[in-house]
Every structure is written in C-alpha cells, then in structure tokens.
C-alpha cells in the first residue's frame, strides 16, 4: 500500500475497524474511506455495488460484522448467520469484481472445533464439530475465509483472512446482554461499585450514556426502580455481581490496538503466495492473531473487580452455558512473519476501564 492509496475500512466505527483506522492514520495513510451503517447498509447489495463503483477502493479491510457475546450468539442464531453471510458476500464479491488489489477479511477464532487440540493452530479448521452456542457465526466466518481462499485460487486475487482472538479496547460494546465477556464485566463491576458506594449520579450517567430497555429515562427513574432492574435483570447488586457460567473456561484476550497493528502489518508485508508455499493442496491459509496466553473467566472477573475497586461478592451461575471450555490460539505463524503483541492483559484491563470512565465523563 502507498500512503495515498484508496483504502476502504468496512466497519470503521466498530471496535475492530476504528482501531485499524487509527493505526492507518498513525502510519501516515491519508486516503481512508469509511461509511457508517446509516450511510451504507452492507446488507443492501445494490448500495454496496454503487459504493464500490463510485469509490473504487484499491485496498479493503473487511472489519464489519454482526457480533455479540454468548447470550446474543445463542439466541440470535438466524441473525448471526444471515447478516454476516450477506455482508461478506457483498463486500468480498464487489472487491473481486472491481479488481481490489488486496483485501483483509477479519474472522474469529470461534471457527475452530470445540474439541480441537490446544493451542489452536490453523490446520485445526474443519477437523470436527463446532461449539454449538456460536455455530451460526462460526459457519459464516468459515464461509468468508473459504471465499477469500477460493477466489485467490480461481481468480488470482490477493485476499487474506485473519482470525483474531477475543478483542477488547477503545470503542468496545458495553451492552449488558449483547457484548462480549470482558466489556460486559467492566460495566457490571462499574455499576456494582457505584451501587456499593451509593453513587447515583454515576449510575444515572452510565444508564443515560448507554440506555437499557427496561428504564425509559435514567434521570427520572427512582433509585428503587433502577436497583431492581440492575439486580433482577442483570445480576448487579451493591454486595454481589452474578456472572454466567462456572467461571472455569479459559480465554485469551488481545488489545484491539495490537490487533490493528497486526492487520496493517499483514496488508503491508504478507501476500497470499507467502501463505501457500510448499502446499500441494491449498487450504488453511488464514492467520491467527493472538497472544498465546490465557486466563480463566473467574480470574478475569477478579482482575476487573480489582481494577474497578469493587469489593463485593462475585457469584457464578453454573446453570448458564460456559461455551467452549478453552480457546487459546497459537500465533506462531504470524509471529514468524514479523508481528508480536505488545500489551498484556494486566495492562490492558486498566486501560479499558480508563477509556470507559473517560467516555462517560465526555457524555
């Protein structure tokens, strides 16, 4: 990529896309193209086609996706497969049609089988069954990476797929039901800490900045009404926080800015031909992006609580699903190609909470 190349970042307002956008700007790329969902609905093929014909991007980062945590994945199964397949079909297809020089497709490590050997290596793909709770999303992402791989083989495109581990960072989704585990914990413990200290101004500020459907107006709702909803609906109390699952699953987390640096590194330095060297039957050409380090959900909860300053009880509801018990990536393939992570989780959680509090202060 040249510094003035026309670069389209699909999903540039989300956690992943915004981090990539900032990384590109920091490296001096000046011709970035972004559209909000209101400006361009990626599920609308006619709109996507018109956009590509008008803008003619040379490079594409496909970071747009319909995403969520374990509850959202398990309950919105149709949405997760339908919406993601549509987004991918339209963006990857139009990139091929107009001759985009290079595309980076971002997937997820949920593509790997539930019982795959740990740590997860790229060759584990499609070796056995997927984890049931996120199967529709995983199938959509597998279809996307196979589309990229197949277009490369048939049409000579240069479309590369990367599979980041669990991400967290600035601009994360902190929805109490539909977010991923780490941002959900940050918000739960933040609200519980405020309840613990009777800081109703903070609670109302939080619920005004990120409203919940059960409270129409956080500024006028009574303290009793708010505390009842937070407790009964979300398991957030002054003296305890209830979390889904047993707390035993192990998870890996990657700071979103590190992920963005990895993506830019791939686009600048790695081609499809670099990933197929020595293969007689080309497959598993995607790249893991991760740290290769893991933590239990229970340990993570205590780290977040300590960061926030919450001193109440942490309760785990083992009647709720755990998801995959372990999901650790092996990032050695990408490491060998020149990228390594820089931010450890013990540094990243305080950075995330600092961002969250700053975002509330600005609202």
Catalytic residues: 137
Burial call 201-227: b when 16+ CB within 10 Å, e when fewer? ebbbbbbeebebeebeebeebeeeebb
Q: What is the Cα–Cα distance from 319 to 33, expressed in whole angstroms?
A: 45
3-class DSSP string for 144-182? HHHHHHHHHHHHCCCEEEEEECEEECCCCCCCCCCCCHH
**Sign of the torsion angle spanned by Cα atoms 352, 355, 360, 361:** positive
Residue written as tokens 């009574």? Answer: 222
Identify the DSSP state of 130.
Answer: P
Phi and psi torsions of 102, nearest 5°: -160, 140
Q: How far is CA 234 from CA 20, 77, 99, 132, in A?
A: 32, 22, 48, 24
Phi and psi torsions of 175, nearest 5°: -60, 135
Q: Which residue spans within the chain are E strands per DSSP?
A: 7-10, 32-33, 59-62, 102-106, 159-164, 166-168, 240-244, 250-251, 253-255, 287-289, 295-296, 313-317, 326-327
Q: What is the Cα–Cα distance from 11 to 18, expressed in whole angstroms?
A: 8
Could you tell me the two tokens for 282? Answer: 């080309």
Q: What is the Cα–Cα distance from 294 to 311, expressed in whole angstroms?
A: 24
Q: By three-state DSSP, how is residue 240 classified?
A: strand
Residue written as tokens 């991918």? Answer: 88
């Amino acid at each position: 990529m040249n510094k003035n190349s026309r670069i389209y970042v699909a999903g540039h307002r989300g956690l992943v896309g915004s981090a990539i956008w900032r990384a590109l700007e920091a490296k001096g790329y000046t011709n970035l193209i972004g559209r909000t969902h209101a400006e361009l609905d990626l599920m609308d093929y006619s709109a996507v086609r018109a956009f590509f014909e008008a803008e003619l991007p040379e490079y594409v980062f496909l970071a747009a996706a319909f995403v969520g945590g374990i509850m959202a994945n398990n309950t919105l199964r149709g949405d997760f497969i339908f919406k993601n397949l549509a987004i991918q079909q339209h963006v990857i297809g139009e990139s091929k049609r107009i001759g985009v020089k290079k595309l980076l497709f971002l997937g997820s490590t949920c593509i790997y089988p539930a019982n795959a050997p740990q740590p997860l290596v790229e060759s584990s793909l499609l070796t056995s069954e997927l984890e049931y709770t996120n199967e529709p999303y995983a199938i959509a992402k597998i279809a996307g990476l196979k589309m990229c791989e197949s277009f490369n083989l048939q049409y000579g495109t240069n479309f590369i797929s990367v599979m980041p581990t669990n991400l967290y960072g600035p601009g994360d989704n902190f929805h109490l039901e539909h977010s991923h585990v780490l941002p959900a914990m940050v918000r739960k413990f933040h609200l519980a800490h405020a309840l613990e200290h009777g800081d109703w101004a903070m609670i109302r500020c939080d619920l005004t900045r990120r409203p919940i459907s059960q409270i129409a107006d956080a500024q006028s709702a009574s303290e009793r009404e708010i505390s009842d909803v937070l407790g009964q609906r979300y398991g957030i109390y002054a003296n305890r926080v209830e979390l889904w699952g047993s707390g035993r699953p192990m998870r890996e987390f990657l700071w979103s800015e590190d992920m963005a640096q990895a993506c830019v590194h791939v686009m600048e330095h790695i081609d499809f031909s670099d990933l197929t060297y020595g293969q007689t039957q080309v497959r598993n050409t995607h790249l893991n992006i991760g740290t290769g380090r893991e933590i239990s959900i229970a340990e993570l909860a205590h780290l977040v609580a300590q960061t926030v300053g919450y001193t109440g009880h942490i309760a785990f509801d083992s009647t709720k699903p755990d998801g995959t018990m372990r999901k650790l990536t092996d990032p050695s393939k990408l490491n060998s190609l020149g990228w390594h992570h820089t931010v450890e989780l013990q540094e990243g959680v305080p950075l995330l909470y600092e961002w969250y509090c700053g975002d509330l202060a600005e609202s």
